[in-house]
Structure 1
Amino acid sequence: MGEKREKVAVIIGPTAVGKTKLSIEVAKRLNGEIISGDSMQIYRHMDIGTAKVKPEEMDGIPHYMIDIKNPTDSFSTAEFQYLVREHIHDISKRGKLPIIVGGTGLYIQSVLFDYQFSETRGDEVFRRELEQLVEEEGAQAVFAKLEAIDSASAERIHPNNVRRVIRALEIYHTTGKTMTEGLETQENNLLYDIALVGLTMDRTKLYDRINYRVDLMMEEGLFEEVKQLYDNGIKDCQSIQAIGYKELYEYFEQKTTLQDAVEALKTNSRRYAKRQLTWFRNKMDVTWFDVTDEEKKEEILQYIEGKLQL
């Protein structure tokens, strides 16, 4: 019981706030290695739209949980939890500091705290009713039920991933709690010694940065990246729910103009950033650093060193 807990630094914050650049500086100074805490950077061939760190930007720092799945693969919070904990243990064992960097709050929280993904007992009759509904009215009919009771799960699960949609509804039916509530009401027992750093900035400046980054992504070839996935027949899967991909798919399916698709991408990115900030502030005990007007690298380094007693 007296075994020392592994130390973990965590850098979170909304999209486009500057987490990637800072995390590499921190890793270089504190002998660290980086674990991506982003639910979409796990997919191969989805580089520009997920703002994946470029090899030349890594500056020799190893990065994990990037390019580990094909776009057609599904991926769960439980799998993320297992893999990241393995990386934390391996990095720590080699005398390095694991640094989790990202913006997918529930994924990161599931790693740091003692979350149990126990299998809830099913209800076969209820499941068959839902399967019948899919046959009669289509996948969207059951997905609408999930959106109505658990919008957070609906954001993570693709409407056509019928098995997972039904499973989420079954959990609510048998327990009275949504899948999301089931996770959030678990005991918040930390498994590691953590320094949890949050980056924030003036909302207007952040939104300007997001808009600029979308324009830059288009210049760097986001259109071509998404078109290749579309042309390869990669549809109706979890990965394409990612912001930057679903909007351009609307264009390829001739449901909107390219200009409107890009505007939707910017709008959805801004809304996502707002949701990220709200989630982190409500769910985790974060030490925030406002990086609106100046670099806080030294201050953040000192905070992590002091908190983890490095």
Structure 2
Amino acid sequence: MEHSAQDPAPASADTPLIAVVGATATGKSDLAIALARQLDGEVINADALQLYRGMDIGTAKVTPEERAGVPHHLLDVLEVTEEASVSAYQRDAREAIAAIRSRGRTPILVGGSGLYVRAVLDDIEFPPTDAALRERLEQRIAQEGTEVLHRELAASDPEAAGIIGPRDARRIVRALEVGALTGRPFTAFLPRPLYADASTVQIGLRRDRALLHERIAARVDLMVEAGLLEEIRALREKGLDRGLTARRAIGYEQGLAVLDGTLECAQAIQDTVTGTRRLVRKQDTWFRRDARVHWLDADEHADGAPLLTRALAVLEAQDTAAGDARP
């Protein structure tokens, strides 16, 4: 799979599934588009909030111009009143990957929503849900307390009880729900680092934390200048207040408060910056736990080699290693 940063490389039968991951504001989208142009690829979104139609400015969604003619999938597929589902996303993303490969092109997953990335890349099965059963269990939690249901969980699924604290009501309820619906232990459905597609290559982008914090502050200012409040006002007319996920998104929650008159704009900006920096820490923790990620320094002052060149070198090395491992 040898290729330079000048000539696009055609996809082949063993074309890898490439995932560009990492924290917010590290430059993932730019690299994914550059890789797609180089490798005749198509991009699949793995940012949970970019699934929502109209949530553009506040999620830093790539514009049609920025996409540079590269096809993008799973952007703008939900209304703000809808709930995003990881299991539905897994199905749709894997269908997109298969369709991209059927066209002889390279699938490139990009995003910072850790669970969504894992849902696509890893061998994860999502158990069913039952709203009525969950409501009954939640009522019992409210009436009897978490310890009672935790003891029931310990009797039926001791391994799950061992990793779920006796006060973690949400996970106790979910574990009991899964056991009742499937007859299998909750732990059987927990994510494990096992690729569903052996050709997967993850490239992670990182930046100096202080520089990233500055970048986030500047980015939030640009979002406000670009019309974030106007975007939120328009989305409110489409039901943003009713969207359990969308209305709580960083930047949107603060913007709604500004429109309601309960938060000053300057404080909303600071809260958005603080919330984004907190999100970055969580994303860093999530992705750094995965030893399979090949990390690249995305800072402009890195080692002098263009980021695209270094990413292609990672793919070349993985392709060589995979070839050596073949019988």
Which TM-score applies when normalising by structure 2? 0.76
- For 1:207 and 1:55, locate their aligned partners in 2 and report how far apart those are by CA, in whole Å: 27
Q: Contact 1:194–1:308 (CA<8 Å) still a contact in 2? A: no
2:292 is the counterpart of 1:285: yes
Among 308, 314, 326, the alignment partner of 1:297 is 308
Q: How does 1:90-239 map to 2 (within 5 A)?
A: 90-119=99-128, 124=133, 127-128=135-136, 130=138, 149=168, 170-174=173-177, 183-186=189-192, 188-237=194-243, 238-239=245-246
Larger CA Rg, structure 1 vs 2: 2
Deviation of the 1:185 alpha carbon: 4.5
1:268-303 deviations in Å (ceiling 9; x for gaps): 011111110110011452110012214422011121
1:30-87 deviations in Å (ceiling 9; x for gaps): 1111001110111111110111101111111000010111111111110110000000
Deviation of the 1:115 alpha carbon: 0.5
Q: Contact 1:16–1:210 (CA<8 Å) still a contact in 2? A: yes
- For 1:268 and 1:210, locate their aligned partners in 2 and report how far apart those are by CA, in whole Å: 10
Name the counterpart of 2:145. none
- For 2:186 and 2:29, locate their aligned partners in 1 and report how far apart those are by CA, in whole Å: 28
- For 1:242 and 1:180, locate their aligned partners in 2 and report how far apart those are by CA, in whole Å: 29
Runs of 4+ in 1 over 6 A off after TM superposition: 120-123, 179-182
Q: Contact 1:88–1:98 (CA<8 Å) still a contact in 2? A: yes
Name the counterpart of 1:259. 266
- For 1:182 and 1:270, locate their aligned partners in 2 and report how far apart those are by CA, in whole Å: 33
- Structure 1 vs Structure 2: percent identity of aligned residues? 33
Name the counterpart of 2:50. 41
Name the counterpart of 1:248. 255
What's the secondary structure of 1:57's corresponding residue? coil
Q: Contact 1:243–1:265 (CA<8 Å) still a contact in 2? A: yes
- RMSD between superposed Cα atoms in Å: 2.9
- For 2:141 and 2:238, locate their aligned partners in 1 and report how far apart those are by CA, in whole Å: 30
Q: Contact 2:216–2:276 (CA<8 Å) still a contact in 1? A: yes
| Count of aligned residue pairs for this structure pair | 276
Q: Contact 2:137–2:173 (CA<8 Å) still a contact in 1? A: no
- For 1:22 and 1:255, locate their aligned partners in 2 and report how far apart those are by CA, in whole Å: 39
Pair 220,180 (structure 1): closer, same or farther in 2 beyond 3 Å: farther
Pair 208,38 (structure 1): closer, same or farther in 2 beyond 3 Å: same
What's the secondary structure of 1:41's corresponding residue? helix
1:109-155 deviations in Å (ceiling 9; x for gaps): 0111111112268884x733635999xxxxxxxxxxx9x627xxxxx
Deviates further, 22-31 or 296-305: 296-305
Q: Contact 1:31–1:97 (CA<8 Å) still a contact in 2? A: yes
Which TM-score applies when normalising by structure 1? 0.80
Unmatched segments (≥5 aa) in structure 1: 135-145, 151-164
Q: Contact 1:14–1:277 (CA<8 Å) still a contact in 2? A: yes
What's the secondary structure of 1:95's corresponding residue? coil
What's the secondary structure of 1:98's corresponding residue? strand
Pair 29,65 (structure 1): closer, same or farther in 2 beyond 3 Å: same
What's the secondary structure of 1:261's corresponding residue? helix
- For 2:78 and 2:259, locate their aligned partners in 1 and report how far apart those are by CA, in whole Å: 24
